[in-house]
Amino acid sequence: MDGSRHVPPGQKIIPNFIIYRILGQPNIDVQSWTLKVKGEVEREMTYTYEDLLKLADVSYVEDFHCVTGWSVENVRWEGVSLRKLIEASKPRDTVKWVYVLSVDNYTTIIPIEDALHEKAILALKINGKPLTLEQGFPARIFIPHLYGWKSAKWVSEITLLSYYKDGYWEALGYHERGNVWNEERFKW
């Protein structure tokens, strides 16, 4: 670290990602995989991987932050704006939360305002290449100001809800929001 960048409190820069597969690593058949956007919406949507590649509209460089205290600098993220996917489903005014389900049955929940953030994406590429299976191929969530447990890999469903529902780590005491700059690691 050259000191020119601000690192969030409690974080240390490391050179490479540490790969977590808390529920194991699923096998993905990209030909049959789909992403569903559903819940409190006027129109449920289903996307194939090819659909998402055509919709890709976001590319930027941001750091990744794990709640365990490590960060990786200057990662190029490319994918589809979560706002675009959510708005295409015409969410009801009552929506307050985005509940994410992955192929491996991992879940997390994100406040709607964070999911609609201009840099919140469904990432399809990392550092100019398609995601590897270890990094969440075919698609993962990424929201730069939230800890990595909110960046669910192997995403298969995005459900818009008016009520809060614990995801995997939230049920174990992790914070509802998980803002890295506010050190929102735990509920207490």
Q: CATH number of 32-172: 1.20.950.20, 3.90.1150.10, 3.40.50.2300, 3.90.420.10?
A: 3.90.420.10
List the alpha helices (DSSP H) in the chain.
49-55, 82-88, 112-115
The overall average pLDDT reported for the chain is 94
This prediction has a pTM of 0.92
Helix (H) or strand (E) holding 115: helix 112-115
How confident is the model over 115-153, as pLDDT tens digits? 999 999 999 999 999 999 999 999 999 999 999 999 999
Check if the beta carbon of residue 139 is closer than 8 Å to that of residue 88. Answer: no
3-state DSSP helix/strand/coil % of the chain, to nearest 5: 15, 35, 55
Check if the beta carbon of residue 187 is closer than 8 Å to that of residue 120. Answer: no
